[in-house]
Amino acid sequence: MRRVVILGSTGSIGTQALDVIRRHPDRYRVVGLAAGRNAEMLEAQARELGVPADRARLGADGPEALAELAALPDADVVLNAIVGFAGLPATLAALEHGKRLALANKESLVAGGPVVARARARGGGEIVPVDSEHSAVHQALRGGRRTEVRRIVLTASGGPFRGRSREELHHVTVADALAHPTWNMGAKITIDSSTLMNKGLEVIEARELFEVDLDRIEVVVHPQSVVHGMVEFSDGATLAQLSMPDMRLPIGLALAAPERLDEPFGPVDWSEVGTLTFEPPDLDAFPCLGLAYEAGRAGGAAPAVLNGANEVAVAAFLEGRIPWTGIAEVVAEALQGGAGNVDDVSDVLEADRVARERARKAVERRSAA
Ligand code: NDP
Per-residue pLDDT, 282: 97
* 14-32: average pLDDT: 97
Look at residue 124 and tell me if it is in a domain.
yes
pLDDT digits (tens, 9 = 90+) for 248-264: 999 999 999 999 999 99
Instruction: Determine the atom of ligand 1 nearest the C-alpha atom of 198.
Output: 34
pLDDT band at 367 (very low <50, low <70, confident <90, very high): confident
pLDDT at residue 140 above 90?
Answer: yes
Is the beta carbon of 190 within 6 A of some atom in ligand 1? no
* 120-145: average pLDDT: 98
Residue 5's region, left for phi above 0, alpha for psi from -120 to 50, else beta, is beta
Look at residue 95 and tell me if it is in a domain.
yes
pLDDT digits (tens, 9 = 90+) for 308-332: 999 999 999 999 999 999 999 999 9
pLDDT at residue 148 above 90?
Answer: yes
User: Which residue's alpha carbon is nearest to atom 48 within ligand 1?
Assistant: 36
d(CA 240, CA 143): 10
Is the beta carbon of 82 within 6 A of some atom in ligand 1? yes
Per-residue pLDDT, 181: 84
Task: Give me the number of domains the chain comprises.
Answer: 1
Q: Which of 7, 13, 203 to mutate to test the pocket of ligand 1 (most atoms within 8 A of CB)?
A: 13
Is the beta carbon of 14 within 6 A of some atom in ligand 1? yes
Look at residue 50 and tell me if it is in a domain.
yes
pLDDT digits (tens, 9 = 90+) for 73-119: 999 999 999 999 999 999 999 999 999 999 999 999 999 999 999 99
User: Which residue's alpha carbon is nearest to atom 26 within ligand 1?
Assistant: 186
* 254-281: average pLDDT: 95
Residues 6+ apart with CB under 8 A from 245: 132, 182, 183, 225, 226, 266
Is the beta carbon of 183 within 6 A of some atom in ligand 1? yes
**Distance of CA 114 from the midpoint of ligand 1 (Å):** 23
Look at residue 309 and tell me if it is in a domain.
no
Instruction: Determine the atom of ligand 1 nearest the C-alpha atom of 192.
Output: 34
CB 202 within 8 A of CB 106: yes
d(CA 74, CA 2): 10
**Distance of CA 8 from the midpoint of ligand 1 (Å):** 5
pLDDT at residue 369 above 80?
Answer: no
**Distance of CA 208 from the midpoint of ligand 1 (Å):** 21
pLDDT band at 54 (very low <50, low <70, confident <90, very high): very high
**Distance of CA 83 from the midpoint of ligand 1 (Å):** 4
Per-residue pLDDT, 320: 96
Per-residue pLDDT, 184: 86
Per-residue pLDDT, 272: 87
**Distance of CA 224 from the midpoint of ligand 1 (Å):** 24
Is the beta carbon of 131 within 6 A of some atom in ligand 1? yes
User: Which residue's alpha carbon is nearest to atom 19 within ligand 1?
Assistant: 59
* 220-242: average pLDDT: 98
Look at residue 353 and tell me if it is in a domain.
no
Per-residue pLDDT, 182: 83
Read off the pTM: 0.97
Per-residue pLDDT, 53: 95
Q: Cα 324 from chain centroid?
A: 21
Show the domain range for 67.
Answer: 2-129
pLDDT at residue 144 above 80?
Answer: yes
pLDDT band at 157 (very low <50, low <70, confident <90, very high): very high
Look at residue 139 and tell me if it is in a domain.
no
Q: What is the CATH number of the domain that holds 99?
A: 3.40.50.720
Mean per-residue pLDDT over the chain, rounded: 97
CB 247 within 8 A of CB 184: no
User: Which residue's alpha carbon is nearest to atom 18 within ligand 1?
Assistant: 59
* 177-181: average pLDDT: 91
pLDDT at residue 368 above 80?
Answer: no
pLDDT digits (tens, 9 = 90+) for 327-342: 999 999 999 999 999 9
